Amino acid sequence: MTSNDFLNAPTTSQPARSAGFAEAQAPFVQEARSLGLDADAIAAAALKQAIGDEKARRWNEEHREAFAAWDRWVEENGLPLEEHRMF
């Protein structure tokens, strides 16, 4: 095979692939639009919420030991300035 054979070879289409995420969600997007819903805004809000939830979960996990230490300190020493509480 020469370089001309390679360059003049017929092009093939993209290999077949299974349906991706966007293709799998198409029926839901169409139904949302038929109901007058903004599927893009809903998806963006859901992603924003999921990202925030995951960040909070990770932050809590990262600081779990500090929370436990504070709880132990309060159990041993009581609340700071407890004598000034009005309730």
pLDDT, tens digit, for every residue of 14-64?
656 667 888 899 999 999 999 999 999 999 999 999 999 999 999 999 999
**Taking 60 as the threshold, does the pLDDT of residue 7 lie above it?**
no
State pLDDT tens for residues 64-87. Answer: 999 999 999 999 999 998 888 888
Looking up tokens 């692939």, which residue turns up? 17
Model confidence, pTM = 0.61
Give yes or no for a contact between 64 and 58, defined as CB atoms under 8 angstroms apart.
no
**Angle at 28 (CA atoms; ends 42, 52), nearest 5 degrees:** 30
